[in-house]
Amino acid sequence: MTNKKFLTLAEAKKGYYYEFEEGVYKYAKDCKWTLIENGEVLIDGADWVHWEASRSYLYCNDDEYTLIENGKVLIDNVDNVQRYEPGLYICKKDGKWTLIEHGKVLFDNVDDVLWYKPGFYRYVIDDKMFQVKDGITAEIY
């Protein structure tokens, strides 16, 4: 007899669950989350988990966040991480933000950072906000 490692969607629906799309769902059991993608356990026992796209997800354990994209760990053990689109994300560590776009660090160790579209960003350092648009940087307040 084989021991099942995760709940099916039908079983998960009896408790606290969320279905992202067909074949992709998460469920909580004993206050820990499991994320399933097409019959594969992507993460089990997380404090929090969010699915983004195929084999791309975020999870948190003990207030430390991890970003997985295409099955590879891209960001690990940070205070916060947000994924805008494939290859584009911001992360926070020790109160400072970093913006990474397709493997290139665009801004590091800033107080805040916003991505609007390729070539258009805003960041804050020492209570001063700067805008970068089409390669031109200007202080906006």
Question: Which of the residues in the chain have pLDDT under 70?
Answer: 1-4
User: In the CATH scheme, what architecture does the domain 79-141 have?
Assistant: Beta Barrel (2.40)
User: pTM of the prediction?
Assistant: 0.85
Q: Phi then psi for 55, rounded to 5 degrees?
A: 55, 25
- Burial class for 34, CB neighbours closer than 10 Å (0-12, 13-18, 19+): buried
Note the pLDDT of residue 141. 87
Provide the residue ranges of all domains of the chain, joining segments of one domain with +: 1-78, 79-141
Note the pLDDT of residue 140. 95
How much of the chain, in percent, has pLDDT values that exceed 90?
A: 88
Q: What share of the chain is helix, strand, coil (3-state, %, to 5)?
A: 5, 70, 30
Q: How are strands ordered across the β-sheet holding 120-125?
A: 112-117, 120-125, 128-133, 136-139
Note the pLDDT of residue 93. 97
Alpha-carbon torsion, ordered 62, 67, 68, 69, to 10 deg: 170
